[in-house]
Amino acid sequence: MADKPESGEVFGVPYNFERPSLGRMLSAYWQPGKGMLVQKPFGIGYTLNLANWRSWIALGVIAVLLWHDRESRSDADTEEEQDDGPVEVIVDD
């Protein structure tokens, strides 16, 4: 039986299932001179290159969106707590 490769590409998407070392993990997320997306050190696909300034903008936008979502959910929860109870609706025929 042939050995399956632990890294390569499928339909242009990279994969790597080799056991990651600490050095490879750190160097995968910090690659100066490369683009915003780099190959993942373990798994399938791409990840953010933290040496690229665009990655930090993307992380900031994601953080703001998550914060906004949590704030809107907490505001909705407080409005539900202020509810006076059931409301009676009368419909005339």
The pTM for the full model equals 0.65
The predicted pLDDT at position 3 comes to 78
Domain around 59: 7-81
Does 43 reside within a domain?
yes
Of the CA atoms within 13 Å of residue 83, those in its CB half-sphere come to: 9
Residue at 28 is within a domain: yes
Q: Count of domains in the chain? A: 1
Read off the pLDDT of residues 1-51 as tens digits, 9 standing for 90 and up: 567 788 888 898 999 888 888 988 888 999 999 999 999 989 999 999 999
| 87 occurs within a structural domain | no
Q: Is residue 74 part of a domain?
A: yes
In a domain, 2, yes or no: no
Q: Are 47 and 53 in contact (CB under 8 A)?
A: no
- Asked whether residue 92 is assigned to any structural domain, the reply reads no
Residue 86 lies in a domain: no
Q: Is the pLDDT of residue 58 over 90?
A: yes
